[in-house]
Amino acid sequence: MEYECPICQCAAISNPVGGRDILDIECLRCRKYIITGTAAAMLDGKSISMDDRLLLSMWMFENQGVELDSEHIKNFPIVDMPSLHERACNLIREFARRNPSMGDEVELDFVSKHIEPTATRISRDEYANLNPKDQEKVKALFEWMSISRCKNSSELIFLLVDYMTDDLGWLKDWTVTGVTISPSGWINLEEQK
Ligand SMILES: [Zn+2]
């Protein structure tokens, strides 16, 4: 990844676009989006807190395909932070969407060892220095952080292990590659419908 995302400053790719002054970005955290040159310059020049950048990144992740322009930056589209419980519900729904069979392991093949637990980003150089397998695992980590609206890996692990496994009992049988939704997790999914 040869670029850093103008929104969340994470490792990203900037695909060339002919004609217009826009950037076509593919970011580990925000995923794919288009941003105008003016908006990118505004984000660069503006002293925006990392918390606000992360909220914008979460909005971007859920609004794939939107072209981010200077109006968006002036009227910062900030998402509301859902409660811990809503985040757990979102995660388990996504697990069930990917693995609809009861008893199957949900693949959660991410690693957080290359990133500090409280870090919100990985730089272009740090990412480039990982081997391709670890790059995939770091990519998966950022995807799960975006799905669950977690700022960092410490929050994600707290949500998955302390809350969803230990407190709620929705997840069980952790392995190095994934986890299984427990019977009470499935009951909760049925009640969410
Ligand atoms: Zn980003």
Please tell me the predicted confidence (pLDDT) of residue 15. 86
The pTM (predicted TM-score) of the whole model is 0.90
What's the gap in Å between 184 CA and the centre of ligand 1?
35
Q: What are the domain boundaries of the chain?
A: 3-74, 84-192
Ligand 1 mean position to 27 CA, how many Å?
5
* 109-142 pLDDT, tens digit each: 887 788 889 999 999 999 999 999 999 999 999 9
Buried-exposed string 86-102: b where 16+ CB fall within 10 A, e elsewhere: ebbbebbeebbeebeee
Calculate how far, in angstroms, residue 57's C-alpha sits from the geometric centre of ligand 1: 6
Cα–Cα distance measured from residue 153 to residue 115, given in angstroms and rounded to the nearest whole number = 8
Q: How many CB atoms lie within 10 A of CB 81?
A: 14
Residue 110: its pLDDT value, please? 85
Name residues of the chain where pLDDT drops below 50: none
Q: What is the model's pLDDT at position 46?
A: 64
**How far away, in angstroms, is 186 Cα from ligand 1 center?**
33
Angle CA 55–70–150, to nearest 5 = 10
* CA 121 to ligand 1 center in whole angstroms: 9
Backbone angles phi, psi at 105, to 5 degrees: -80, 135
